[in-house]
Amino acid sequence: MPVVVVESPAKAKTINKYLGPGYTVLASYGHVRDLPPKDGSVLPDDDFSMKWEVAADSKKHIKAIADALKTDDELILATDPDREGEAISWHLQEALASSIKKGKKVSRVAFNAITKPAILAAMEKPRDVDTALVEAYLARRALDYLVGFNLSPVLWRKLPGARSAGRVQSVVLRLVVEREMEIEAFNPREYWSVTATLLTPRGQQIEARLTVLGGKKLDKFDLATVAAAELAVSAIDKRDFSVKSVEAKPATRNPFPPFMTSTLQQEASRKFGMGSKATMAAAQRLYEAGHITYMRTDGIDMAPEAITAARAAIKDIYGANYVPDSPRIYKNKAKNAQEAHECIRPTVLSATPEQLKITDSDQRRLYDLIWKRTIASQMASARLERTTVDFASADAQVELRATGQVVQFDGFLRVYDEGRDDDDGEDSARLPQVMQGEPVTRAKDARRPDYVKGAEFGTPPDRATNMVLGQDGASLALQHHTQPPPRYTEATLIKRMEELGIGRPSTYTSIVTTIQDREYVTKDKNRLIPSDKGRLVTAFLTNFFRRYVEYDFTADLEAELDDVSAGDRAWKDVLARFWRDFSASIGETSDLRISEVLDKLDDFLAPHLYPLRADGSDPRSCPTCGSGRLHLKTARSGGAFIGCGNYPECRYTRPISVSADDPAAALDGKVLGTDDFGVEVTLRTGRFGPYVQKGEATADVPKPPRASLPKGWAADQLTYERALELLSLPRQIGPHPEDGEMIEAALGRFGPYVKHGKVYANLADAEEVFTIGMNRAVEVLAQKAARGAARGAAAEPLRSLGEHPDGGEMQVMPGRYGPYIKWGKVNATLPKETTPEEITAEQAIELVNAKAVKKPARKTAAKPKAETAKKPAAKKAPAKKAAAAKPAAKKKAAPKKAAADDALTE
């Protein structure tokens, strides 16, 4: 009985159903081996030999496969049809070498969809593991490891507070940072547009925009001031108009190609607001359920049988007139497109979203999107008529234009239209009937409601600053300002990565997720904003490792790896060329002093760190002492801030993301009052927010009394009395009635609390610190003690999610930091956007499986034997173990886990 190995238990269950009882289908649960997260896993001086180890949680899966092979003579590797899938098959073959060396048959099969016909067809075409794809994988893993484990320590030493750097993630971070710098450097430009509402002889209104003034065609910025707009409105008011010309042109709109990975993520973001990670998770489940084809692809071509099925479905559902005369064939135009896979499409084109009845909301929405896009891609074009009407004054000095369009045949638009990241302003309104030479009149007061609704008044109060209304209310001028480029969303960032040839479908999501996990980028209203830490890392790499964050260099390296995949380039040659130059660049930074680094970064980030002040003063002068210059500095605890060069005489500091003109910075140093001894109490702004301070630092008192403002307290409303209350903490409430030990109330790192001995009990509100009495304090402390005693009691599950495919019940449990899924000894936290009521069994399986894979081995476990990577050979018996390598020279302590994590991702 052949043993078939796939990645996931859900996939194994579906395939086992299709293959029948003659096969044993087991899951590997993803990758089974990886490079140990420590120095020496890739050895450039030993011909880039790589040492692999089996993950602790993968041992039981390897054992299950090995046990099955004791009674079965054939191993079929049926992992995903991409580079990562090929790599998993190779790792399985290597890890199972002792079980398959006794004449057992090993083969590799690949299928693009988990359907019975696709799987049975794949079983008829077994092959060997693709050597070229595995070598491309080995090259990528080696590159990512070498960058992560060599560049990250440089960051730690030269840029305190930085976490890590990755080969591709650093380049993507640069995209986000540079877009933010574009936005900050942007200078808006004012311009005005003028429209008028006209009345046709048949009494219908038509809106037209001003296109010619003074006999000259207007450009966008010709009306640059309110004075110019007033003159334009006046010119319309003084003239009568007639129809100069009417032009109707036929037009067509062609359907969009079917989805590939990047376009699916973009459209799911536009239409549903789904992040790339959520999109790919839902697509993975649809693929494993057999509903769609493989979802990590950069191909948009469709199998001939799928095209035939789509055309048949279109005819059945929408009619023969929606089927074009010939099938539509799509080819990818993206840079470095591999054309390795088919597009993302439904496996059964006739299966409409309504027929499948998918229960999970994300999967249901995503399948509906994929089905509509696929069907629409093979439908007839939409036919439109676009009409342009020009109106002119008798003296030809003023002209107005109205545009509109009407859909004569909707074609593919009946099913689907792609969303847009930015409105293109296309006018889709139908125009009323007019004829050349007909007179038109101004529609009195037609624009007055718009004026009343949107006008903003200044000085004089009866004159709007952003609008000009014509005397008869028929014409209206609107003020506009050019807008900076928008911040990236995850979807538009992935689109830009694809355009530049950076990353690949299998890595887009992990790259975008990593820069957020590292806290280099934050997300606000679905837009990506670089943090101060992210800016500093980009500035450092741009100044000292510029070549390795250049877009073309990264794209060219990706192209070389694609050549390796195609068998056109030797993978170790790629590594050797990269390592020769990269190791030299690392060596050049060894003598750099932190002060040199800070000076470079200070200059590079100056427009962001020291923006121009409203009063025109020097943006780098210290607002406290007036004589010192502001500089970028690093804290002992990590991170960076702006401080005065006159330290320690002047102790002014502020976060690097706050300018001197910021209201928070304006409060820095504000004197709140003076005590009876003449000591000032001041409000300060520090790296961790506002705080109050009594007195100044001196040689005798280097750390004067300070207290941070509690969360929710407005710094601009703080009084001297409230500041004294903060500085007086901790507040003594009185001796405990049972043992006489003092009870205190104070503000701590985690908020307000009361303390009795070693017992700390949180308070709900900071105000309670100043008002809580003895009875309430004793009650709160008693409640805390009772909770501590009950902590050992088992918590009741919030919900049962049924059995895991590997056995054992999955339950949603309440936790201190939020609900989580418990499966045996594995605990997986629920995503923030998912409630215990919404989580499905399929989502739970994915979460606990991912957590199980990441779970570290116990410290007491024996160290896994390292294995040296060999160039994969087609269907050859495993080679004998190589002679033990010479012991490596002693190295420094292994880098922290952040570098390990970065070495595992692009």
Question: Could you give the residue numbers annotated as active site?
Answer: 294
Asked if 681 contacts 671 with a C-beta cutoff of 8 angstroms, the reply is yes
Helix H, strand E, coil C: the string for 248-268 is: EEEEEECCCCCECHHHHHHHH
- Residue 648: asked if its preceding bond is cis (omega within 30°), the reply is yes
Q: What is the DSSP letter of 621?
A: B
Beta-strand (E) ranges in 9-69?
24-27, 33-34, 42-43, 49-54
Rounded Cα distance between 691 and 727, Å, is 10
Backbone angles phi, psi at 401, to 5 degrees: -135, 135
User: Residue 680: beta bridge partners?
Assistant: 674
Helix, strand, coil % in the chain, rounded to nearest 5: 35, 20, 45
Burial class (CB in 10 A: 0-12, 13-18, 19+), 565: buried
- Residue 730: asked if its preceding bond is cis (omega within 30°), the reply is yes
Closest CA to 155 of 905, 906, 902, 904: 902
Rounded Cα distance between 860 and 156, Å, is 30
Burial class (CB in 10 A: 0-12, 13-18, 19+), 399: buried
Asked if 399 contacts 244 with a C-beta cutoff of 8 angstroms, the reply is yes
Look at strands 751-756 and 190-199 and give their pairing.
unpaired
Given the structure tokens 């116990």, which residue do they identify?
A: 858
Burial class (CB in 10 A: 0-12, 13-18, 19+), 719: exposed
Q: What is the DSSP letter of 836?
A: T
Rounded Cα distance between 88 and 8, Å, is 12
Compute how many other C-beta atoms are within 10 angstroms of the C-beta atom of residue 711. Answer: 10
Residue 807 Ramachandran class (φ > 0 left, ψ -120 to 50 alpha, else beta): left
SS3 505: coil
Rounded Cα distance between 624 and 641, Å, is 16
Asked if 416 contacts 372 with a C-beta cutoff of 8 angstroms, the reply is yes
Rounded Cα distance between 596 and 609, Å, is 17
Rounded Cα distance between 631 and 594, Å, is 13
DSSP H helical segments within 686-835, as ranges?
Answer: 720-727, 768-771, 774-790
Compute how many other C-beta atoms are within 10 angstroms of the C-beta atom of residue 718. Answer: 18
Q: Sheet holding 742-748: strands in order across?
A: 731-735, 742-748, 751-756, 759-762
Asked if 766 contacts 714 with a C-beta cutoff of 8 angstroms, the reply is no
Q: How many residues does the chain have?
A: 906
Closest CA to 533 of 429, 392, 342, 687: 687
Instruction: Provide the Cα torsion 638, 640, 643, 646; round to 10°.
Output: 60
What tokens appear for 353 in the block?
Answer: 């979203």
CA-based radius of gyration for the chain:
34
Compute how many other C-beta atoms are within 10 angstroms of the C-beta atom of residue 791. Answer: 9
Compute how many other C-beta atoms are within 10 angstroms of the C-beta atom of residue 665. Answer: 17
